Amino acid sequence: MGSTKFTKRDLNRFRKVYPYAQRRKVLKTISDNETTIEVGTITFTSTDSGSYTFTEAYSSAPNVVVSVYDSAGNNLAGVVLNITAITTTSITVTSTSSFTGTVNVQVIKIEA
């Protein structure tokens, strides 16, 4: 697992700006290492298992965080989520019981 440092850079400071024509700051976040961040959702409808296919290509299994959200509003999202399988192309998530709601997926890969 790698780590990186993010910094913000004003792109207008890297070109000639004359004193009478002040420009607004144009901030861009720059990383030391190549970083891929992806977000997605899995919809659960009275089931206890679901899968998500990554939209980005990964050379090895990325770090994944899952969290439950009760999108149906029936207060039945008090479940524990377990990642049962993770590959370079998809993830499979199971819950402790069946529920109706949404599982938010965050995928982070930092190349060292």
Q: What is the pLDDT along the chain (112 residues), one digit of tens a residue?
A: 567 888 888 887 776 666 666 677 888 888 888 888 999 999 988 899 999 999 999 989 999 999 988 766 666 668 899 999 999 999 999 999 888 889 999 999 988 7
pLDDT of residue 43: 92
Q: Determine, yes or no, domain membership for 106.
A: yes
Q: Determine, yes or no, domain membership for 14.
A: no
HSE, CB side, 13 Å, CA atoms: give it for residue 30.
9
pLDDT of residue 30: 85
Query: How far apart are alpha carbons 49 and 64 in whole angstroms?
Result: 16
pLDDT of residue 79: 87
Assigned token pair, 43: 């919809």
Measuring CA to CA, which residue among 100, 111, 96 is closest to residue 35? 111
Apex 12 CA angle, 11 and 15, nearest 5: 105
Q: Determine, yes or no, domain membership for 47.
A: yes
Domain count, the chain: 1
CATH number at residue 100: 2.60.40.2080
Q: Determine, yes or no, domain membership for 72.
A: yes
